[in-house]
Amino acid sequence: MRYLIIAAVCIFAMVGAAGAQKKMKPWTEWSEKDAKKILEESPWAHTQTETDTSEMFFNPTSQSGGGASSGRSERGAFNQAMNLNYRIRFLSAKPIRAAFARTMTAKQPAMADAMKDFVDRDFKDYIVIAVTFDAADRRVEGPVMQIFQAANLGVLKNDTFLETKNGKRLFIAQYSPPNPQDGLGAKFIFPRQVDDEPFITPASGEVRFYSEVGKNVKLNMRFKVADMMFEDRFEY
């Protein structure tokens, strides 16, 4: 029994040391690569990629007629599969705001003080999901931007929600379309508490964000709640 206790103490010590080694540096010391990883693939951010293969092969554009050929004549044919990436993030989680701030201050160091206020902002009342999108060919982004700009709460309220592992759903309360001035993307806003209790807790297992923004834009992403720890706090 004594040897088992000693072994257990050693194991816990090793785990504690490993945890200390994995503790993240202050966001002001992150590299741009660190920030990019947080923003694209982390416990608080995942990427949903949609691939359009409809123009994968050469198809000459037409100067007359309607439909797809008319669209190709206006913007030019792709003649290849096109990927569109949706970056789905918990903007109300501090590490996401910190990563945005690091990206900004890497380009404009004078913004450091203003960005600190942004990072430390308290989101005690709301959960905010921010969505940006990008593609290798910028022509793909235009129609998607139009869909996000045209969306409103009336369009979104029945098909935009957060869902925990037990099936409980929390529907959207506010929506803000993409603002080119802040670069944070479209913002889907939910109340943080329901019946005076947090909707998401460490025991929630996972949380799914789902939204039918428009006919051709459906977002569906799951996040593992247990991984959402940052600076010894549950961040979402």
Q: What letter represents residue 159's amino acid? A: D
- Residue 66: the pLDDT is 38
- Residue 69: the pLDDT is 40
Q: How far is CA 28 from CA 64, 109, 121, 230, in A?
A: 55, 10, 16, 15
CA R_g for the chain = 22
- Residue 60: the pLDDT is 53
- Residue 53: the pLDDT is 62
pTM of the model: 0.80
- pLDDT band with cut points at 50, 70 and 90 for residue 78: very low
**Residue that the structure tokens 């669209």 belong to:** 71
143 pLDDT more than 70: yes
Q: For 37-52, write each residue's pLDDT tens digit.
A: 999 999 999 999 998 7
Alpha helices in the chain (DSSP H): 2-22, 32-40, 67-75, 94-107, 112-119, 141-150, 153-156
Comparing CA positions, the residue from 80, 182, 218, 60 lying closest to residue 140 is: 80
**Residue that the structure tokens 């929600």 belong to:** 161
Q: Which residue(s) pair with 87 in the sheet? A: 47, 132
Q: For 183-197, write each residue's pLDDT tens digit.
A: 999 999 999 999 999
Comparing CA positions, the residue from 142, 133, 145, 126 lying closest to residue 188 is: 126
- pLDDT band with cut points at 50, 70 and 90 for residue 10: very low
Of the ranges 105-119, 153-167, 181-195, which one carries the lowest mean pLDDT score? 105-119
Tokens, residue 169: 């759903």
Phi–psi pair at 175, nearest 5 degrees? -140, 140
- pLDDT band with cut points at 50, 70 and 90 for residue 25: confident
Mean pLDDT of the chain: 83
- Residue 173: the pLDDT is 98
- pLDDT band with cut points at 50, 70 and 90 for residue 23: low
**Residue that the structure tokens 């977002």 belong to:** 219
- Residue 224: the pLDDT is 97
Report the helix count and the strand count for the chain, using DSSP H and E: 7, 13
Question: Count of CB atoms within 10 A of residue 199's CB?
Answer: 19
Sign of CA dihedral 8, 24, 95, 32: negative
